[in-house]
């Protein structure tokens, strides 16, 4: 699949037959994001079906919510700007993580042109959720920054295992969220479902993430059999662990849960 160019695609979390996310080996995309004027319109207009447990008000909002997936090479430059700005607002401003930033944008060495992204965009065109996808046969966050979280277990280095990172579903226009829930909104679970489908279509069998402890309970309630790769450890004041997530392309949450307020690394 290397070398194939993929268009930016809008996803319905319930659709089937989504093409696999393909990868383009290019340089880090920071420089390519400096001019958003070159953005092109998205070629797909697929609107996800809202979950049946949503209220009338949330139904109206979710009916016009779009979940978009692609690589930095295929996404419009303006959307890449919005993702990097959203990540800064959520992870740096809201959650207080100590990350290297470039002005109001959050990027790191894993944001390459072949990196996979998922972005949730509401009816006003505002990014309200993101995730980053990295096959572990290339450099990725857990292996290069948090290898201690694997304990004595070997670090995954396989196209069959993908890392999901920079995962959040917080509306940047809302007040600063509390740290009492995690991975919990219907939108967050829709993004996870999209990540599973994209990785599955590319041949992956498992996801792995650097996660805070609260994620296990939320995932169990949603019907995901998450497992710890090793014992949790404290990193910069946060209890983190490497979380294995089995991929089920057709997974949907078992029950509604509360709003996401904390993201994964």
Report pLDDT for 42: 28
Any idea which fold 9-246 has?
Aminopeptidase (3.40.630)
Average pLDDT over residues 175-192: 69
Phi, psi of 142 (to 5 degrees): -55, -45
When the pLDDT of each residue in the chain is averaged and rounded to a whole number, the result is 75
- Domain ranges in the chain? 9-246
Least confident of 70-79, 156-165, 251-260: 251-260
- CA 115 to CA 120: how far, in whole Å? 17
Tell whether the model's pLDDT for residue 46 goes beyond 60.
Answer: no
pTM of the model: 0.75
Question: How does pLDDT run across 116-155, given as a tens digit for each residue?
Answer: 999 999 989 999 999 999 999 999 999 999 999 999 999 9
How far apart (Å, rounded) are the C-alpha atoms in residues 162 and 200? 10
pLDDT in tens, 17-37: 223 333 322 233 332 332 223
* CA gap 167, 263 in Å, rounded: 5
- Identify any residues that bridge with 121 across adjacent strands, giving them in sequence order: 66, 127
Rounded Cα distance, 9 and 29, in Å:
19
Closest listed residue to residue 197, CA positions, set 125, 126, 247 = 247
């Amino acid at each position: 699949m290397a070398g194939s160019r993929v268009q930016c695609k809008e996803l319905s979390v319930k659709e089937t037959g989504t093409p696999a996310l393909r990868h383009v080996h290019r340089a880090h995309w920071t420089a390519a994001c400096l001019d958003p004027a070159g953005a092109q319109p998205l070629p797909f207009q697929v609107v996800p079906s809202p979950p049946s447990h949503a209220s009338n008000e949330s139904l109206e909002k979710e009916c016009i919510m779009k979940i978009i997936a692609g690589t930095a090479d295929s996404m419009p430059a303006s959307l890449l700007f919005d993702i990097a700005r959203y990540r800064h607002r959520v992870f740096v401003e809201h959650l207080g993580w100590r990350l290297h930033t470039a002005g109001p944008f959050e990027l790191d060495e894993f944001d390459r042109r072949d990196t996979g992204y998922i972005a949730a965009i509401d009816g006003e065109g505002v990014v309200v959720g993101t995730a980053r996808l990295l096959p572990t046969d290339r450099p990725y966050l857990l292996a290069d920054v948090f290898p201690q979280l694997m304990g004595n277990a070997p670090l995954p280095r396989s196209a069959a295992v993908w890392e999901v990172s920079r995962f959040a579903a917080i509306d940047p226009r809302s007040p600063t969220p509390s740290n009492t829930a995690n991975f919990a909104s219907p939108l967050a679970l829709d993004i996870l479902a999209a990540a599973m489908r994209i990785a599955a279509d590319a041949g992956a069998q498992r996801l792995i993430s650097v996660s805070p402890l609260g994620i296990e309970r939320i995932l169990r309630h949603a019907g995901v059999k998450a497992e710890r790769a090793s014992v949790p450890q404290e990193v910069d004041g946060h209890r983190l662990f490497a979380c294995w997530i089995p991929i089920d392309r057709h997974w949907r949450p078992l029950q509604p849960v509360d709003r996401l307020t904390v993201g994964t690394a």
